[in-house]
Amino acid sequence: RVFQDRLVDDQDREWLMGQVKHCSSTILSEPFDQLMGGLVGGSGGPVSHTDMRRCFFGDYMDSSLEPPDRMYCEITDVPKLLGVMEEYLVDFNATSKRPMNLAMFLFAVEHVSRICRVLKQPGGHMLLVGVGGSGRQSLARLAAFISGMQVFQVEISKSYSRSEWREDLKRILRTAGGDAKPCVFLFSDTQIKDEAFVEDINNLLNAGEVPNTFPSDERMVVMEAVRPRAAKLGLETPLE
């Protein structure tokens, strides 16, 4: 789940599978094919990287619970998982101004599961690679909905400038930090109107903030908003 999610080539996946099997035998003293035998129906045959497509872990199976209360566990009933994803899609379309017409087949569910895993991590971020129209943004929106997160996406126009970009960033940061609401910032390569946008996103990923975004008066308002929660967590809350 940590490494294979990042691989896009079958040869690399086969190599990783070989390394995992070797470590399982030599370090854990347990044959990997035996540990994961359920993926091949308990036949005792070798488990391939293709079989691992049916290996799911997540916290989204019980939609009646709020995301913070859900249990992260292995999901062995793939048909049930497909049904749960269909239910999430129906719920999303019932509340969204932009309903999505998606077919929740196994390949799409794999990607939704991966995105959910990344979003569950503090400060999690990922690069969705694919051709236009392949459903990257739609699956990201569905995963954010499943994870109970609000999606932000800037609206680029001919007159969209750096100042408007910074205002949008401030709005996102106020919601995520000041209001403590889980957020997903969805940004497409077609929205890179200025290279400064990429630099700001790089700062967000590396430092969690964009330098000089807030003037001193606005910065103090944000600090006052987050100080009570920081104190409750035992974190220092300096004035600067």
> 224: which residues sit within 8 A by CB, 6+ positions away?
none
Residue type at position 187:
F
What pairing do the DSSP bridges indicate for beta strands 183-185 and 56-58? unpaired
Per residue in 78-135, pLDDT (tens digit) is: 999 999 999 999 999 999 988 999 888 998 999 999 999 999 988 889 988 888 778 8
Q: How many CA atoms lie within 13 A of 171 on its CB side?
A: 12
Phi, psi of 185 (to 5 degrees): -100, 110
DSSP string, the chain: --SGGG---HHHHHHHHHHHHHHHHHTS-S-HHHHTGGGGTT--PPPPTTGGGG-EEES-S-TTS-GGGPPPEEE--HHHHHHHHHHHHHHHHHH-SS-------HHHHHHHHHHHHHHHSTT--------TTSSHHHHHHHHHHHTT-EEE-----TT--HHHHHHHHHHHHIIIIIS---EEE---GGG--SHHHHHHHHHHHHHSS-TT-S-HHHHHHHHHHHHHHHHHTT------
CB 83, CB 102: distance < 8 Å: no
Residues paired with residue 56 on neighbouring β-strands, in sequence order = 75
User: Is the per-residue pLDDT at 77 higher than 60?
Assistant: yes
Per residue in 33-45, pLDDT (tens digit) is: 888 887 876 566 7
Q: Give the mean model confidence (pLDDT) for residues 187-204.
A: 91
Residue ranges, comma separated, of all CATH 3.40.50.300 domains in the chain are: 158-240
Superfamily of domain 158-240: P-loop containing nucleotide triphosphate hydrolases (3.40.50.300)
Contacts 24+ apart (CB under 8 A), 188-195: 188/137, 188/153, 190/156, 191/154, 191/156, 193/156, 193/160, 194/162, 194/165
Of 182, 106, 111, the C-alpha closest to 150 is 182
Q: Which two structure tokens, joined as six digits, stand for 217? A: 């008066």
Q: Which residue matches tokens 């975004």?
A: 213
Averaged pLDDT score across all residues of the chain: 88
Of 62, 91, 90, 64, the C-alpha closest to 77 is 62
pLDDT of residue 223: 83
The pTM score is: 0.84
- CA distance between the termini of the chain: 39
Per residue in 125-150, pLDDT (tens digit) is: 998 888 877 889 999 999 999 999 99
